[in-house]
Amino acid sequence: MHSIVSTRFRAATGVLLAAAAAYGVARLFSGYDIKVVIPLLFIAVLFVLGLRYGIAVGVIGSLLSAAIFATTLFSPVGSFRIRDQAARQNLAWMVLAGVALSYLFGPSDSAHKKS
């Protein structure tokens, strides 16, 4: 029982960190032209979180970060539509890389149960 709660708390912590980081980065760079490449740079954050907290955090964090970037960083703000083609592509690459890197390098659930 303790192990299940610990695993879920660990995953929830990682997802919340990904969401908070995505929101903070989106707010920080919303007024700059560099915002188009922010999703590509954010792959590093997702990679580290996936390494630390596991595959599920990398996958869910990638999807949640994409939703946050789409609604707060790119115009039209507040919508999942993204006008800029480059921003749309970079967001898709972020999700793809975040999910792939999580599966390639993230610790499995069995690795967390041993420690």
In Å, the largest CA–CA distance within the chain is: 49
Judged by DSSP in three states, 20 sits in helix
Q: What is the pLDDT of residue 115?
A: 46
Q: What is the pTM of this model?
A: 0.87
Count of the separate structural domains present in the chain: 1
How far is C-alpha 87 from the chain's CA centre?
16
Contact by Cβ (8 Å): 72, 40: no
Q: What residue numbers bound the domain in which 106 lies?
A: 2-114
Tens-binned pLDDT, residue by residue, of the chain (115 aa): 567 778 889 999 999 999 999 999 999 999 899 999 999 999 999 999 999 999 999 999 999 999 999 999 998 988 999 999 999 999 999 999 999 999 999 887 555 554 4
Q: What is the pLDDT of residue 49?
A: 95
Q: Which long-range contacts (CB under 8 A, 24 or more apart) does 75-84 make?
A: 84/36
Judged by DSSP in three states, 72 sits in helix
